[in-house]
């Protein structure tokens, strides 16, 4: 390698000198004619000099040839001699000429410095384009490699995903003792896809697998494969798999797989889709991957519905493991993990906190623990108390408390009766979730108050009566305003929108109406795991006449529930006034106080 580089340097130097030589010959042949100074003086005496430019000792200009006035002027250059010496030499008929002074500085500027500049430029280019330089590292893998001693995450650090851990424990066993499975003819899955909402611990599970197995861990995001240069993504995929084979057994973890794994065939701007090339290379690498090499590919996504089917077939991602939001026991276990290093007060009950956080992911629970610790530190407490956790939950769910937001007395009274209406309807509606807190303290962007309900148990199905109860609770605030003030406000906007959505879902999706009967037309589509709801493209799948009857049935259903709520609140009018006045006094009423006001014992 060194000899090849040395020869190339000599070739460049020889070429450079040849260029300078050719330039000198061209200048000599086609440049101005160099004449003796005596010849210049003779031409001057004969009147053949046309024009002259003098610069120091250099005299240049144009002259006519001797004896011919029709020829084109000739360019000349000469160096003058001292006048006294020139006169003496001319008297003796001696031909004489001047020569420029030769200086070392001029030689350096005209020859040596250009050589060094050219040589330096050549070295810079050679280093920039040499192997390992940044200019040629577009195809290098951007995966972060963690050695086995750098991974301290274990399964005991992951809580709330017991089923997923059991599935992944088999992968760990295969990596530790593959001969036990191969003796029975079994093979290790080539790929495992972790599917679930954001914040449920997919990346943490992948690190725990590497930590339990004690092997290197390659971590890369799907977006790291895609660049603006064509072919870079495919090159990075090849490089990643090459490195993994060298460090086998190991684990490759690709986070956000949907960044490169989207279904092919979509119309793209331009004639070439770099993402499809990257996906094709990933499919090829996984298809030709030897499961006996001891390399496991883990990937995570929260959008499995957009992945290419070729990526999900058997032989590539053999297993798909759901990492869902934790249930009550899972939330309590997650809280126990995140509070290991927190100084907890004696009144802190993690089970109660878990009951207050239904639907929260592991990341949400970690955020609540951190917020509670920050709040306790802000108040100079030595321990984190239950009140800090309650305030942290309110801050995460309802938003930051707006202490400086001024509300006039009239609006404050409307908000109090509005929230009390929600709470009373929830308290006396069968199947409704119990009231946990009533607050008229402004929070978040636009919430002037809120009524917090918490489920008593984990629910996965809802009956028609329970859905109607939800609509009743949502309409309770507006009906209370109408009863007390004989007028309504804009505060019920979100309540009416949610009540309408429930009513439409009952009639169009759940088969609980008369117009469609058992026929269902999903109004919204999206990721079931994330709870996303995206309007279905292409408009409504039924006729305009059916749409008109559905709209009428929705209006009739909401009007019927409004009359039911009105009758309930009218029967409890005195209690409505009592609780609302109490809310105006203290601003926040907890579950125990509310149950005392309505004469109900708090359920254990």
How is residue 468 written in tokens?
A: 């109607």
C-beta separation of 79 from 38 below 8 A: no
Distance of CA 111 to the CA centre of its chain: 55
Q: 202 among the known binding-site residues?
A: yes
CA distance 229 to 234: 11
CA distance 184 to 17: 74
Give me the residues paired with residue 53 across strands: 60
Q: 500 among the known binding-site residues?
A: no
Distance of CA 67 to the CA centre of its chain: 87
User: Is 419 one of the annotated active-site residues of the chain?
Assistant: yes
Q: 596 among the known binding-site residues?
A: no
* Contacts of 188 by beta carbon, 8 Å cutoff, 6+ apart: 171, 174, 175, 178, 181, 291, 292, 296
Question: Which residue in 233, 228, 231, 210 sits closest to 150, CA to CA?
Answer: 210
C-beta separation of 474 from 450 below 8 A: no
What torsion, rounded to 10 degrees, do the Cα atoms 472, 473, 479, 481 define? -170
* Contacts of 338 by beta carbon, 8 Å cutoff, 6+ apart: 365, 366, 369
CA distance 506 to 64: 108
Where is 192: in which H helix or E strand? strand 191-195
The 8-class DSSP code of residue 469 comes to H
Question: What pairing do the DSSP bridges indicate for beta strands 191-195 and 58-63?
Answer: unpaired
CA distance 122 to 392: 63
The 8-class DSSP code of residue 133 comes to S
- Burial of residue 14 (number of CB atoms within 10 Å: 0-12, 13-18, 19+): exposed
Distance of CA 466 to the CA centre of its chain: 39
Whether a cis peptide bond, with omega within 30° of 0, leads into 408 is no
CA distance 517 to 505: 13
CA distance 603 to 291: 56
Task: Find tokens 């793209």 and name the residue.
Answer: 268
CA distance 75 to 51: 10
- Burial of residue 505 (number of CB atoms within 10 Å: 0-12, 13-18, 19+): middle
C-beta separation of 301 from 203 below 8 A: no
Q: 430 among the known binding-site residues?
A: no
**Marked catalytic residue, from 371, 419, 433, 553:** 419
Q: 196 among the known binding-site residues?
A: yes
* Percentages of the chain per state (helix, strand, coil), in multiples of 5: 50, 15, 35
Q: 203 among the known binding-site residues?
A: yes
C-beta separation of 488 from 478 below 8 A: yes
CA distance 438 to 417: 11
CA distance 233 to 274: 7
Q: 201 among the known binding-site residues?
A: yes
Q: 422 among the known binding-site residues?
A: yes
Residues within the annotated binding site?
196-203, 418, 422, 495
Catalytic residues: 419
Residues within the annotated binding site for ATP?
196-203
Residues within the annotated binding site for Zn(2+)?
418, 422, 495
């Amino acid at each position: 390698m060194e000899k090849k580089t040395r020869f190339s340097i000599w070739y460049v130097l020889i070429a450079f000198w040849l260029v300078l030589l050719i330039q000198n010959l061209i200048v000599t042949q086609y440049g101005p004619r160099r004449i003796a100074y005596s010849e210049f003086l003779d031409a001057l005496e004969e009147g053949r000099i046309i024009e002259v430019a003098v610069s120091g000792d250099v005299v240049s200009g144009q002259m006519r040839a001797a004896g011919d006035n029709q020829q084109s002027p000739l360019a000349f250059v000469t160096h003058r001699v001292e006048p006294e010496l020139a006169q003496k030499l001319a008297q003796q008929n001696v031909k004489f000429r001047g020569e420029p002074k030769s200086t070392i500085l001029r030689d350096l500027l005209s020859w040596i410095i250009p050589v060094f500049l050219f040589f330096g430029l050549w070295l810079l280019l050679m280093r920039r384009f040499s192997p390992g330089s940044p200019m040629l590292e577009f195809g290098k893998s951007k995966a972060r490699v963690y050695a086995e001693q750098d991974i301290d995450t274990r399964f005991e650090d992951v809580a709330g995903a017991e089923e997923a851990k059991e599935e992944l424990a088999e992968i760990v066993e295969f990596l530790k003792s593959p001969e036990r499975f191969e003796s029975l003819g079994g093979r290790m899955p080539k790929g495992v896809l972790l599917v679930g909402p954001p914040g449920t611990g997919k990346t943490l599970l992948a690190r725990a697998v590497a930590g339990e197995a004690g092997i290197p861990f390659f971590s890369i995001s799907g977006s790291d494969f895609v660049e603006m240069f064509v072919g870079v993504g495919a090159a990075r995929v090849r490089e990643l798999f090459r490195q993994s084979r060298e460090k086998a057994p190991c684990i490759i973890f690709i986070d956000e797989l949907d960044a490169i794994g989207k279904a092919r065939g979509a119309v793209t701007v331009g004639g070439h889709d770099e993402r499809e090339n990257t996906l094709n290379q990933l499919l090829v690498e996984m298809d030709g991957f030897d499961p006996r090499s001891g390399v496991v590919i883990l990937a995570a996504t929260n959008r499995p519905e957009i992945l290419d089917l070729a990526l999900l077939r058997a032989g590539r991602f053999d297993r798909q493991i759901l990492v869902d939001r934790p249930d009550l026991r899972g939330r309590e276990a997650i809280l126990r993990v995140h509070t290991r290093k927190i100084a907890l007060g004696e009144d802190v009950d993690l089970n109660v906190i878990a009951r207050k956080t239904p639907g929260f992911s592991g990341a949400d629970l970690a955020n609540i623990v951190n917020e509670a610790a920050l709040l306790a530190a802000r108040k100079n407490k030595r321990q984190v108390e239950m009140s800090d956790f309650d305030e942290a939950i309110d801050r995460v769910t309802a938003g930051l408390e707006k202490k400086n937001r001024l509300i006039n007395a009239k609006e404050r009274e409307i908000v109090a009766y509005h929230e009390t209406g929600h709470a009373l309807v929830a308290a006396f509606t069968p199947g409704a979730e119990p009231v946990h807190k009533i607050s008229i303290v402004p929070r978040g962007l636009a919430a002037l108050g809120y009524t917090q309900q918490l489920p008593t148990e984990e629910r996965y199905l809802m009956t028609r009566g329970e859905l109607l109860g939800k609509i009743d609770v949502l309409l309770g605030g507006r009906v209370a305003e109408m009863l007390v003030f004989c007028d309504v406000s804009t505060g019920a906007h979100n309540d009416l929108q949610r009540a309408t959505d429930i009513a439409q879902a009952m009639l169009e999706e759940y088969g609980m109406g008369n117009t469609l009967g058992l026929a269902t037309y999903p109004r919204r589509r999206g990721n079931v795991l994330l709870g996303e709801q995206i309007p279905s493209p292409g408009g409504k799948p039924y006729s305009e006449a059916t749409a008109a009857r559905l709209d009428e049935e929705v209006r009739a259903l909401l009007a019927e529930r409004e009359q039911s709520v009105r009758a309930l609140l009218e029967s409890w009018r005195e209690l409505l006034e009592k609780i609302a006045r109490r809310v105006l006094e203290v601003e926040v009423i907890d579950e125990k106080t509310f149950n005392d006001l309505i004469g109900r014992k708090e359920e254990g």
